[in-house]
């Protein structure tokens, strides 16, 4: 599943290749890809047609295309395997092409939503006064957002009776930090995933937030991380940041700081990777 840096790479691609173009026609090739658009595929196509697409926006892992001259946006759900590709019109259809968007210009490219497992899709939503699709109004800002409020985040950590990795993945508190980057940030901060947030002092919380920002910015710098061979960015290139991960996926390999074999633990239907020496379990959890 793509994380924030991958989604940002897609957003940048859309900004470059799609912004300012006017939709000529929309072809929905699989009804599941528009199932979140409750009025159906024909309505989805009709409401996009003739509208100019604005600059692609992102909050956390959510990506949307504002429609100029309306208060609505097209929300893209990449799901497990969704891809937004800008392809020359004469490129043969991908096997799992679900939605095609053509444009009223002579650039010769079209936008394609391709999704093998069809967990993803596109849907049109009204915007909130802030310009967010209304269905994601509850999603907190992400740590790469210049308007992210660090102090409010630290205060929320102190007040909540939760553990640090749960807090990092709580989209109403901080968005866009997925499982992989949470493990990386916790390893860098030498924090165990089950550490109660109330026990983090402000400097430690600030250090953790700084590491989360760093690891995501580093991933962005190399074009996102690919953990799923199905993931490619808007131009069809796979990310390659996974080669430089320190924690995620490294079970049994030596910790890059102390040499202790890294461990993996089942955690909320996912996995947590950590160094048992650098990231000591809190007493209550051990």
Q: Print the SS3 string covering 21-81.
A: CEEEEEEECCHHHHCCCCCCHHHHHHHHCCCEECCCEEECCEEEEEECCCCEEEEEECCCC
Q: Is 35 annotated as a binding residue?
A: no
Q: What angle do CA 231, 21, 219 make, to 5 degrees?
A: 30
Start-end of H helices in the chain: 4-17, 41-48, 150-159, 164-168, 179-189, 202-221
Q: Is 160 annotated as a binding residue?
A: yes
Which residues does 69 contact at the CB level (< 8 Å), separation at least 6?
51, 52
Q: Is 96 annotated as a binding residue?
A: yes
Q: Is the CB of 220 or the CB of 255 nearer to Zn ion?
A: 255
Strand 121-126 and strand 72-77: pairing? antiparallel
Task: Mark whether 61 is an active-site residue.
Answer: yes
Least separation in angstroms between residue 247's CB and Zn ion is 10
Specify whether the CB–CB gap between 22 and 241 falls below 8 A.
no
Tokens of 166: 């749960």
Q: Pick the stretch among 117-125, 216-224, 233-241, 251-259 that binds Zn ion (CB under 5 A).
A: 251-259
Task: Mark whether 218 is an active-site residue.
Answer: no
Please give the Cα distance from 252 to 280 (Å, whole number).
17
Is residue 280 near Zn ion by the rule CB under 5 A? no
Q: Pick the stretch among 20-28, 77-85, 200-208, 271-279 that binds Zn ion (CB under 5 A).
A: 271-279
Q: 35: buried, middle or exposed (CB in 10 Å: 19+, 13-18, 0-12)?
A: middle
Tokens of 116: 């093998």
Q: Is the CB of 84 or the CB of 185 nearer to Zn ion?
A: 185
Among 45, 101, 168, 278, binds Zn ion (CB under 5 A): 278
Task: Mark whether 95 is an active-site residue.
Answer: no
Task: Mark whether 270 is an active-site residue.
Answer: yes
Specify whether the CB–CB gap between 105 and 67 falls below 8 A.
no
Is residue 275 near Zn ion by the rule CB under 5 A? yes
Least separation in angstroms between residue 278's CB and Zn ion is 3
Per-residue interface string for the shown chain with Zn ion, residues 109-148, x marking contact by CB under 5 A: ----------------------------------------
Q: Is the CB of 128 or the CB of 244 nearer to Zn ion?
A: 244
Is residue 257 near Zn ion by the rule CB under 5 A? yes
Is residue 254 near Zn ion by the rule CB under 5 A? no
Per-residue CA distances from 78 to 62, 73, 163, 218 (Å): 9, 16, 28, 22
Is residue 258 near Zn ion by the rule CB under 5 A? yes
Q: Is the CB of 45 or the CB of 255 nearer to Zn ion?
A: 255
Among 59, 255, 273, 274, binds Zn ion (CB under 5 A): 255
Specify whether the CB–CB gap between 265 and 286 falls below 8 A.
no
* Active-site entry in 35, 52, 141, 270: 270
Least separation in angstroms between residue 249's CB and Zn ion is 16
Is residue 277 near Zn ion by the rule CB under 5 A? yes
Which residues fall in the annotated binding site for DNA?
Answer: 96, 117, 160
Catalytic residues: 2-3, 61, 270
Interface with Zn ion by CB under 5 A: which residues? 255, 257-258, 260, 275, 277-278
């Amino acid at each position: 599943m793509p994380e924030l840096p991958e989604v940002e790479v897609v957003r940048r691609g859309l900004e470059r290749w799609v912004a300012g173009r006017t939709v000529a026609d929309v072809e929905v090739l699989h009804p599941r890809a528009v199932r979140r658009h409750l009025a159906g595929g024909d309505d989805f196509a009709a409401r996009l047609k003739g509208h100019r697409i604005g600059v692609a926006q992102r909050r956390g892992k959510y990506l949307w295309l504002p429609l100029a001259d309306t208060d609505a946006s097209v929300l893209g759900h990449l799901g497990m395997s969704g891809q937004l590709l800008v392809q020359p019109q004469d490129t043969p259809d991908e096997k799992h092409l679900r939605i095609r968007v053509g444009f009223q210009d002579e650039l010769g490219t079209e936008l394609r939503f391709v999704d093998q497992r069809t967990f993803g899709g596109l849907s049109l939503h009204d915007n909130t006064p802030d310009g967010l699709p209304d269905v994601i109004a509850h999603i907190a800002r992400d740590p790469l957002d210049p308007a992210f409020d660090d102090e409010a985040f630290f205060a929320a950590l102190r007040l909540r009776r939760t553990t640090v990795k749960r807090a990092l993945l709580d989209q109403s508190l901080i968005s866009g930090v997925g499982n992989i980057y949470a493990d990386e940030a916790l390893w860098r901060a030498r924090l165990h995933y089950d550490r109660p947030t109330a026990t983090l002092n402000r400097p430690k919380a600030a250090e953790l937030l700084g590491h989360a920002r760093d690891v995501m910015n580093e991933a962005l710098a190399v074009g996102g991380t690919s953990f799923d061979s199905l993931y490619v960015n808007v131009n069809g290139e796979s990310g390659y940041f996974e080669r430089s991960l320190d924690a995620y996926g490294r079970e049994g390999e030596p910790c890059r700081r102390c040499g202790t074999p890294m461990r993996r633990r089942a955690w909320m239907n996912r996995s947590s990777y950590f160094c048992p020496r650098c990231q000591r379990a809190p007493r209550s959890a051990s």
